[in-house]
Structure 1
Amino acid sequence: MTEKIWLKNYPPDIPARLAYEEIPLQEYLTRAAEKSPTKIAIHFLGKELTYQELYESSLKFANYLRKIGIEKGDRVAVMLPNCPQNVISYFGILYAGGIVVQTNPLYTEREIEYQLKDSGAKAIVSLDILYPRIMKVWKETDLENIIITAVKDYLPFPKNMLYPFIQKRDTGFTVSVQHSGSNHLFAEIIKIGELNPVELDFDFTEDVALLQYTGGTTGFPKGVMLTHQNLASNVQMCRAWMTETVPGEEIIMGVLPFFHVYGMTTVLLLTVMNGDRMVLMPKFNAKDTLKTIQKQKPTLFPGAPTLYIGLLNHPELTKFDLSSIKACISGSAPLPVEVQEKFEHITGGKLVEGYGLTESSPVTHANFIWGGKRVKGSIGVPWPDTDAMIFKMGTTEAAEIREVGEIAVKGPQVMKGYWNRPEDTEMTLIDGWLLTGDIGYMDEEGYFYVVDRKKDIIIAGGFNIYPREVEEVLYEHEAVQECVVLGVPDPYRGKTVKAFIVLKDGYKATEEELNKYCRAKLASFKVPRIYEFRSELPKTAVGKILRRTLLDEEKTQVTQ
């Protein structure tokens, strides 16, 4: 398996190897502003920023950070939805020599405290409505400065005037923060900030640009150290993969939150590196997204399966024109084949499944969008400069073709390691290979398949059951909108298979009906023994189903 047999499938216009410029990420913004200063970089709810405005705002922010004591290597947390302030903060921190720590604005006080303490962040950029939450954990962290902004700061008139009233209606309160002491107002920084270039030396290979925390869907989140090289190389791989796009002319839909590494790489960084336009939405709402697609006409729409499922199941879907979409790469969770086919039919564009993880910046595999063979049910083949193999379970020995084992990857996008966790780093990075924790196999042509997460395998009555296989069958049922399959305690089999089901609006299905359906398509030991119907499933902000939450619920029921 040391031979990259997948390369024979590459179409002529995708190179197996790329040449990388050894420049820090922020230099791409500098170049975009020099080349196309008046070009629109960001569209946000009617407000637009040019590349020159984005560059100058980021530089002002960088100078202010230096003024309040941020030095090279210091961590600065960004706890914002997708908005212009997020992009400005991101590049401003990099210009200042800092390390970005993306933080989910939906986090509870406990989760905020954990991430701030673990990262040692000296400053945080956040929304005004989150200020009280930060203040409750402030003394337990290393925070020295809080930079506050509001969504209205980058809304056009009259939305900016109406927003405070809407905010009070929705949240029940408003927050007023003064620009003094350790509290700083983002709007004031942009008004008074200086445009002096920050002169710093950068090590492209070694300097960490981003601390991106793992999702914590299966355990404690870990800070993944991603260098300028890791991120820049992955974005350039993405650009090489999208053979029919034209740098500088694409419009990229930014619904995936930037605090998720996939949205950050494929929207924020790809847009700036190419000089494209990003259309940002602060949160996913199916109807608002459909309206925005029709009006702004994005050509690229990176997403997660739950986003596409949400759009496809909206009752007014057929009223909207989605034909501007040329390509979507779905990540963060398995893409059901039914969803892929329906979305392509509706838009006329391409929707392919990709694969990656936070530790690889994140993408390592994808199906070909144009010009190459697509294999349904497969995560595709490794990207340029990326090696991959299957390790026999519990070893670092190469598995045979179609033998199921652990997926391992190697390439310039693979992380430097885990922040302050040398033991975890040693267990995950072995001779340059990143052990993904995902179980899969490779076929004779070099296409890879994910069978399941190593931690998610259900061992029932001595049989190995892969939840993804069962979920794929359930997704084929016309009434099933979403599902997740887990192993729950069973006194006889050790574990038994339980399916959590969300039905489509207007559809009905019984446990007996689903049981009969599954028995016609699965070996009897794989068929769910228990079905639970729900109106929704717990998810992360990016739409990944929280298996751990459901498992915790099951454990609680067992102990009661």
Structure 2
Amino acid sequence: MTAAADSTTYGSKPWLARYAPGQPSSITVEFDSALDMFRAAVARDPDGEIIRYFDGRITLRELDALTDAFAAGITDAGFSPGERVAVYLQNVPQFLIAQIGTWKAGGIAVSINPMNKERELTELLTDSGATVLVCLESLHRDVAASVVPGTEVRTVITTSELEHQTRNDPRIFSGVERIACEGTVDMAGLLERFAGQAPPEVSLGPDDIAFLTYTSGTTGPPKGAMTTHRNVVFNAQTYREWVGLTSDDVVLGVAPLFHITGLIAHIAISLLIGAPLVLMYRLDPAVTIETVRDERATFTVGSITVFIALMNSPAAEKEALASLTKILSGGAPIPPSTVKAFKAAFGHYIHNVYGLTETTSPSHGTPFGTEGPVDEASGALSVGVPVYDTVVQIVDDKGEDLPVGEIGELVTTGPQVVVGYWNKPEETAKALPGGSLHTGDVGYMDADGWFYIVDRKKDQINAGGYKVWPREVEDVLYEHEAVREAAVVGVPDEYRGESVKAFVSLRPGKEVSEADLIAFTKQRMAAYKYPRQIEFLDEIPKTVTGKLLRRELRGR
């Protein structure tokens, strides 16, 4: 089968025409760089709020000045265009100051998970060759201080989560205090010292790298995806057009800003449309619900675990979330039962989207205003149809196209696909031959053009020669009223080679026995699929973005 852009099999064009008739099938990238995108927003509405952080407010004019000062400060310290700035922060305003300021200095931002410890931080600083590190004071004390001396980092800029707000909510900031970090530059002092200054003008083009976004490392060492300015602008526009976002919207920042979802669906979309981005440092369900109510947040993208947490919060009230009408979820499998329960509780449908770090967030989405189908055989919720200008093939192990309905690997081609991995030409050639991304995700497309993700190739369980996909078993477990979260892995079995084991956490106040839960699944799926063992945990281990850490569970 062909994979042309207007293909009736794989391309986005026919399916958008069918399911979203008001949508364009193609979009033109409007800016040469994400920095130009930001500057356009400043020019349109300089006094418009762009960041809300508890009781703190930052306008576009103020953010422009702060990022000028940051860029001037690091340039004065010897930073040169093309160098890298590592951003090791939680969801705080300083993240945007550092990222935009890095672009103004002609640099590349490197997003680092604030949960990373010494080994991971060393690995990412070494791989990226970052010369500047921006981090929280607590992260410097606990992690970075012992790591930096062995890297290329010349300048360490520290800051506090207490900056840019005065509310100091004890649910968020309990135990947080300012820390003196010897040998570092205080960001507030830097911004004050270089206030009113700007670095030499730089010219960034579509093919220049905006940031390195490191893969989660669930399948091996993290790789730095080289995300270009074209990638960033294109998928910011994708979110805008897909959902119909305008400057009247309010973006709720529930995804980690270091992750590709936070970088595009929070930061980039806010800069594109000039809408305020609401930040909360860390996710607390009760605080999040209050924030939605108080800030009248309208749009967000988060993992399904975020919405599970909101539903199970004692503070959950339909009225409090009334404004949050534009909800997308990606990054982790979505149980159809959870989408149904959330809509019943709050009246809002959670639209599934799908993408990877290497696709700069979405490559697929459920057209806004429609509800994705659920596959009758597997119970999987569709991840949608390809977004604008995007072609997705389903291929077999030889790379040959498979017919409709056949399960194979997804291969994605489009303007959002990154150009490769930093300093890893062999990995780039393997994953991105000819510029098409071999995702490692297994799925299929139905006759109506909807795509379904079955699982990761590596997670398939071989039970006596039968293939079992963990997601199918997990979706069945989610149908039980007592189950809050579930993760399924294969464990060694002398007879079958592997058998199915489930790890389950329960909803507050709910109880169910292992035997009853096994019986529940046995009634609903083939004999080789249902779990032979169930272990109850208080919490299922996940990455910060909500992906299940099956590798950690297998290690048990």
**Runs of 4+, deviation exceeding 4 Å:** none
* Alpha-carbon distance between aligned partners in 1 of 2:547 and 2:253, rounded to the nearest angstrom: 17
1:187-229 superposed Cα distances (whole Å, 9 cap, x missing partner): 0111121433531232312x11110001122322111110001
2:394 matches 1:390: yes
Q: Counterpart of 1:170 in structure 2: which amino acid? A: G
- Contact in 2 for aligned 1:479/1:507 (Cα 8 Å): yes
The equivalent residue for 2:220 is 219
Match of 2:402 in 1: 399
Q: Please tell me whether residue 442 in structure 1 is matched to residue 445 in structure 2.
A: yes
Code of the residue aligned with 2:523 in structure 1: it is A
Aligned to 1:557: none
Map of 1:170 onto structure 2: 175
Change (3 A) 1:373 1:330: closer
- Asked if structure 1 preserves the Cα contact closer than 8 Å seen for 2:349 and 2:371, the reply is no
1:150 aligns with 2:160: yes
Kindly report the root-mean-square deviation, in angstroms, between the aligned alpha carbons of the 2 structures: 1.8
Counterpart residue number, 1:362: 361
Aligned partner of 1:97: which letter?
G
Aligned counterpart for 2:104 among listed residues 91, 95, 106: 95
Identity of aligned residues (%): 37
Could you tell me which residue of structure 1 aligns to residue 377 of structure 2? Answer: none
Unaligned runs of 5+ in 1: 554-560
**Corresponding residue for 1:542?**
545
- Paired with 2:292 and 2:344, the residues of 1 have a C-alpha distance of 16
Structure 2: which 5+ runs fail to align?
375-380
Give the residue type in structure 2 aligned to 1:378.
S
Q: Write the distance in 1 (CA, Å) between the matches of 2:50 and 2:317.
A: 30
Mapped to 2, the partners of 1:82 and 1:361 lie a distance apart of 19
Q: Distance in 1 between matches of 2:434 and 2:38?
A: 34
Whether the 8 Å contact between 1:72 and 1:96 is mirrored in structure 2 is: yes
How many Å separate the matches in 2 of 1:55 and 1:304?
31
Distance 2:231 2:433 in 1: 17
Q: CA deviation at 1:538?
A: 1.2
Measure the CA separation in 2 of the matches of 1:368 and 1:45: 32
- Paired with 1:309 and 1:22, the residues of 2 have a C-alpha distance of 37
Distance in 1, matches of 2:497 and 2:79, equals 53
Structure 1 position 320, deviation (Å): 5.3
1:411 and 2:414 are equivalent in the alignment: yes
Answer whether contact 1:324 1:347 (CA < 8 A) is retained: no
Shift of the 249–407 alpha-carbon distance from structure 1 to 2, 3 Å rule, reads same
What TM-score do the two structures reach when normalised by structure 2? 0.94
Can you list the C-alpha shifts for 1:406-429, whole angstroms capped at 9, x where unaligned?
011100110110111111111111
Contact 1:218-1:547 within 8 A present in 2 as well:
no
1:452 Cα deviation from its structure 2 partner: 0.7
Partner of 1:375: 373
SS of 1:527 mapped into structure 2: coil
2:200 counterpart (187, 198, 214): 198
Match of residue 276 from structure 1: 275
CA shift for structure 1 position 319: 7.3
CA apart distance, 1:22: 4.2
Preserved contact between residue 366 and residue 384 of structure 2 (Cα < 8 Å): yes
- Contact 1:351 1:369 (C-alpha < 8 Å) held by counterparts: no
TM superposition shift of 1:430: 2.1
How many residues matched?
Answer: 539
* TM-aligned CA deviation for residue 431 of structure 1: 2.4
The answer to whether the 8 A contact 1:252-1:299 is kept is: yes
Q: Deviations over 1:118-149 (max 9, x none)?
A: 11110100111111221111122111110011
Which deviations, in whole Å up to 9, do the C-alpha atoms of 1:41-60 show, x marking residues without a partner? 11101100011001110111
Q: 1:323 to 1:56 in 2, by over 3 A?
A: same
Residues 1:473 and 2:470 aligned together = no
Structure 2 counterparts to residues 76-475 of structure 1, below 5 A: 76-132=85-141, 133-156=143-166, 159=168, 170=175, 175-177=179-181, 183-193=184-194, 194-196=196-198, 198-205=200-207, 207-243=208-244, 245=245, 247-318=246-317, 321-370=320-369, 372=370, 374-376=372-374, 377-392=381-396, 394-475=397-478
Shift of 1:10: 4.0
